[in-house]
Amino acid sequence: MTLAAETTTDFRADEPRWDAAKMRWGHAWRALQKLLADKDDTHQVFEIMRALNGRSTANGYQRLLQTTHGGRIAYAREEFARKLMDDAWLDSLPAGSVGAAYREFIRSEHLSAEGLADVSREGGNEIEEQHPYAWFGRRTRDVHDIWHILSGYHRDALGEACLVAFSFAQTGGLGWALIAFGAWTRARKSKDYPYTKAIWQGYRRGKAAKWLLGEDYERIMAEPLEAARKRLGITPATWYDAIPAEVRDGALPKAA
């Protein structure tokens, strides 16, 4: 056996939990119904992710290693939630930056990275395992609200549905695909506004953008917001922006 073979960083062969986990479609479908009934029930999002996203997490980590700076990022294995909870660091980010917009977003919405992490631990603590794939899952979780900023989607029902579609395009995770499909199906019931076009555009925007999970987020947070969007290939959310803010929660009407 060569030295290269002995020191490989490919964990796939002996980690079935993360790479070849059984898809639990029934569990995911039941969680989806609860989420569609209450968009703020974030716990159901993580239930769906646990049921369907194992392979995409493993694949994402392996993809990270192939990027220009991915090896360094993976080696450092920083827990980005800790950085996002550092108020002094957030306050140091310049006006007009991605980080400044994030700071305003979480404070106005009374959110926190640790709060999201707490929800992710409900019903199972595997995301806290000391394993590269688990770390990558935490990284994906921790940048979710930054993706809100970069994409321009707010926390209304339509904005969350669009960001889910965006996230599916970025990650390939079947959990995101299921939520996007459920939101799109429910949105079809509303004929007054182009909700479905906005969700479909979310997917296309995510597909067209650079792969965001390979980015250095400390750099992104200090970048001017519009410059970051341009560099990352994130196009305007024209269909979403065209729908009045006061009716965006109507994108997901209750089931009959």
pLDDT, one tens digit per residue, over 63-102 is 999 998 999 999 999 999 999 999 999 999 999 999 999 9
Q: pLDDT: is 200 or 4 the higher one?
A: 200
Give residue-wise pLDDT tens across range 32-54.
999 988 888 999 999 998 888 87
- Indicate whether 122 belongs to any domain: yes
- Indicate whether 139 belongs to any domain: yes
- Indicate whether 13 belongs to any domain: no
The dihedrals phi and psi of 15, each to the nearest 5 degrees, come to -130, 70
Whether 2 shows a pLDDT value over 90: the answer reads no
* Residues 121-128: contacts with CB under 8 Å, at least 24 apart: 122/43, 122/46, 123/43, 123/46, 123/47, 123/50, 124/50, 126/17, 126/50
Terminal-residue alpha carbon distance, the chain: 62
Q: What is the pTM of this model?
A: 0.89
Residue 14: predicted pLDDT? 46
**Per-residue pLDDT averaged across 12-18, rounded?**
49
Residue 254: predicted pLDDT? 63
Residue 70: predicted pLDDT? 93
Residue 33: predicted pLDDT? 92
**Per-residue pLDDT averaged across 2-18, rounded?**
44
How far apart CA 184 and CA 164 sit, in angstroms, is: 10
Q: How many domains does the chain have?
A: 1
- Indicate whether 73 belongs to any domain: yes
- Indicate whether 56 belongs to any domain: yes
- Indicate whether 18 belongs to any domain: no
Give the range of the structural domain holding residue 85, as residue numbers without chain letter. Answer: 23-251
- Indicate whether 85 belongs to any domain: yes
Which token pair is 130? 């000391």
**Per-residue pLDDT averaged across 106-115, rounded?**
93
CB 161 within 8 A of CB 202: yes
- Indicate whether 218 belongs to any domain: yes
